[in-house]
Amino acid sequence: MAQQEYVLETELVGFEDVSRVIAVRGDLTLVDLHYALQSAFGWDDDHLYAFWRGGQFWTNADKHFIHPCAGDEPVDPGEGSAAIRLDSLDLAEGRSLCYVFDFEDEWRVRLNVQAVIADEGRPSPRLVHAAGVVPLQ
């Protein structure tokens, strides 16, 4: 089966003019997506983070995936670790993920699946488009 690439339109919640479009292959993980978001928004990787399937932040545990080393022991991918592959999340055009970086300041990002396309060997993850100036972290 050919590798798929997810094109994710992201919006920084509370800052209507700040958005990014990121493309990422399905064989990469939420951890990889986290690093792509860090780069796209110009943030330092110095805080915990979590992702949620669907359109709501801080929902129940079966929909959320946390930093793989959030506790005393590494979190198993089957138990909600962000080390899970994107292609196992049943993402499709029109679906969304929510991302929170830094649980104290709560930088919230909503990620909408804009398209699912065939991977054509381009670098991944990659920034496709950027709009707006990100406030300082």
pLDDT tier, 132 (very low <50, low <70, confident <90, very high otherwise): very high
Q: What span, in angstroms and rounded, lies between the C-alpha atoms of 80 and 61? A: 7
- Residue 136 C-alpha from the chain's centroid: 20
Domain ranges of the chain: 4-9+28-121
* Mean pLDDT for the stretch of residues 96-106: 93
* b/e per residue 95-118 (b: at least 16 CB within 10 A): bbbbbbbeeeeebbbbbbbbeeee
Q: What span, in angstroms and rounded, lies between the C-alpha atoms of 124 and 92? A: 18
Give pLDDT tens digits for 44-96. Answer: 888 889 999 988 898 876 678 887 765 555 555 556 889 899 999 999 999 99
Which amino acid is present at 83?
A: A
